[in-house]
Structure 1
Amino acid sequence: MIIAEKKNNRFDLVVDNVRKTSKEVDCSGASVFIIHDDEIVTEEYWGRHSKDANARPIQEDTQFHVASVRKCYIGFAVAYAINEGYIDSIDDLVTKYLPLNMVKISLLQGTTIRHLLTHTHGLKRMNGEVYREFSSGEHWAYRGIGIDILTQIVKDTTGQTVAEIIKAKALNPLHLMETGWYGKVNEKLVEVIRKPNDPNWITSEGTDGDKMNMYVSTRDLAKWGYFHLKQGYVNGEQIIASELINLATSLQSTSLLDTDLPQNGCLWFVKDLPARRTEIGELVPKRSFQILGYTGVTLLVIPSRNLVAVRAFNSFGSPEGFDYLADVRKFGDTIMTCLVK
């Protein structure tokens, strides 16, 4: 993907904001990348891949562990399966597609693909057992079991893994070569700074796209966002059907009793009605979409402003007393402040 460069200082406040966050979390390096009006206007890197004084500097091809940001790639794969007819409807019951031995059928009654994509399925896994927290569609909870079910459904219906779909339909056509799931470390991957024995840290040698071992360079992640901003049309070519992108990034959440709960597209967080628990800043306009990872890596797309912004860190989790939701909202709000100056 080719995007013109026209670096300027319009978003210096955003760089300052990301630098401030990088000092507050436990990381050794960070970056920020902004595309505005079809030009790369901000690109900054600082620090090193680890706390080792001789570690590789953070640079253009550095790949950050994106944690839950990977879910927007999984959402793309599900949208692909729906758009291509492998899944008949987003409102199909999960039991239509899920292998009988994965979760007890009795637990899945009334649960649809839409519920899985919008974190409203109500399932939770603890100590290897799956149980129901609430009836599907009645509440919102961020649980990994929904992602596991979705990736299995993609594989069973399409005959391809999430990683294979992403590579064939997006990464290869867009020439995004700094994106992938890695079973082994290499020099371009950052070391993830984390507490010893952190229960949230899960590594894997699998590369199917169903595990939390995805690394992406800041520039690749920004271009992935730009691909969505442009509805799949880049460099004079419709790479993927615009209907697929629209499905993935538009509001798919059903109405909930608690209006302060977040709203989602296909795993993306989508700005719609004001909600206290949203991760998107108050100043960010409606129909914007964003995804945030446990490492603090964030991708924000603001269609009404023709803008994509990425920030990346190699931290894992937040220090005690750090309000990560307030911090990521500030990232988006600072961008909007720069736009109206």
Structure 2
Amino acid sequence: MSDKQPSRNVGTPELSGPQPAAADIEQAAALLDAGELVAFPTETVYGLGGDAASPEAVARIYAAKGRPANHPVIVHLPPGGDPRYWAAEWPEAAQKLVDAFWPGPLTLIVKRHARIPDAVSGGQDSVGLRCPSHPVAQQLLAAFSKRRGGHGGVAAPSANRFGHVSPTTAQHVREEFGATVHVLDGGPCDVGIESTILDLSRGFPALLRPGHVSPHDIARVLGEAPRLPDGSDATAPRASGTLKAHYAPRTPLALLPFEALEPLLAAARDAGETVALVARGSRAGAWASAANVHFVAAPEEPQAYARELYGLLRALDRANVSRILIEKLPETIEWIAVNDRLGRAAAAFEAQQD
């Protein structure tokens, strides 16, 4: 993402393929109202949604994903929904960020109102709130909220098994859950990685998970830069997608500078193994056409890389390769979100390599 302009609202994604009819939206809202789960598209990834006010529905989300009960989920609100209903406190900074980036891929962590179930927050006194920009998500959230007197919220982590690669198409969700989960198909997700998570619950802004809305974007709105995640913030609330190992494919993955990948490529060649190589085309050289290498030219631009990342990892899981080797990206603020996801994916296999 360029530092010259704030990302602001993502706006309405370009939709492709058949979209749900009004009756489909109402059916999905009725399922949520009955305590059932519905997978639906957002501009970031597909979410596995349940009634955020129902501990039983939230428990179904945790059970379906195999998610630890102390790992909080994000509450999704429709445009015009009142975040103050869910919050014990609503800082001025929160309203500034809502005005700038909602609807869009920014989650705000604030103090949780006493009426909100503990299950949503993994037992913490905070809650994560966001308003997605995808029109199908907005229609579903509005229809459900109407059934709840204007105060309905949908708890929705990514619609995949816990720790696995997040889904960016309806087919990805079906691959995870088969026919056990009702899926609204809204086409491919436009952003492709999960929302930025910003903590405002402790009196200062702290970035817990990087995403499409960058630290520079946040600083422009608030007039101060958020604290960046460096592993030293012991008082930070737990938040979605912040475990060390996450977003991982099933095929072993290594993330290294290109110079460190070349010996691994040579060793695989000598052993007769086929490996995947994900690198920017300008760096791949002769390895791009090597017989034992399944080469994927990585996008040169951060937003494009983010949009394609999860679909790429899922495709490589089906590519019959023994290992996925990914070129480490520049450690700059523009690449912070993609680096975060790749680093967590690689961490799932580091213990096996040690």
Question: Normalized against structure 1, the TM-score is what?
Answer: 0.29
Greater per-residue helix proportion: 2
- Say which structure, 1 or 2, has more relative contact order (CA 8 Å, 6+ apart): 1
Question: Normalized against structure 2, the TM-score is what?
Answer: 0.28
